[in-house]
Amino acid sequence: MPPAKLDPIDRKILAELQADGRMTNVELSRRVGISAPPCLRRVRALEETGFIEGYHARVNTRQLGFEVAVFAMVSLRSQAESDLNAFEDRVRSWPLVRECHMLNGEIDFILKCVAPDLSTFQRFLTEDLVSAPNVAGVKTSLVIRETKWEPGVPFDVLEARATSD
């Protein structure tokens, strides 16, 4: 059931849980201005309708020993749907690849990768990624630092649109 209308309270709930996914329902209900039971029912509904896809702890990858993060821009020889799917399946089997986005233009995929050290990544790059079938070229860039990271969606922009409807 993808189609569903969100009121300002729903959007506030999403914004709050996006910022703090472990907030108690009591605290959440207080912040959005309704009592706990209907608040919980709304959260459940947002989960069921797919607005909330999941909850995750964000961990410090570097502190956990993954010193290296890399963006890999991949070009394929064939963009036939079956070849794209084959590549995607392969990507899903590589634990060092955390994200994979299919793009338009020169670059077909952008992969966000992590690794304990550079040599581990280099080995993955040459032995797995570059030598995978249908891969025409890979350009990589090391992440020096992460300047901004905000989960999901800018709800202030969403509010501005919703209220102007």
Q: If contact means CB under 5 to 8 A according to the sort of partner, which of DNA, a second copy, none does residue 38 touch?
A: DNA
Q: How far apart are CA 20 and CA 131, in angstroms?
A: 41
Strand, coil or helix: 25: helix
Q: Which does 41 bind (CB under 5 to 8 A by kind): DNA, a second copy, none?
A: DNA
Binding a second copy by CB under 8 A: which of 18, 75, 122, 134? 18
Residues 20, 41, 117, 133: which binds DNA (CB under 7 A)?
41
CA-angle at 162, arms to 160 and 165, nearest 5° = 110
Q: Is 22 left (phi over 0), alpha (psi -120 to 50) or beta?
A: alpha
Binder to DNA among 8, 20, 25, 142 (CB under 7 A)?
25
Contact flag: residue 26 with a second copy (CB under 8 A): no
Mask 49-68, x = binds a second copy (CB under 8 A)? -xxxxxxxxxxxx-xxxx--
Q: Which is nearer to a second copy, 34 or 67 (CB)?
A: 67
Contact partners, residue 148, CB within 8 Å, separation at least 6:
none
Q: Does residue 137 belong to the site contacting DNA (CB under 7 A)?
A: no
How many angstroms separate the CA atoms of 93 and 69, rounded? 18
Binding site for DNA (CB under 7 A): 9, 24-27, 34-38, 40-42
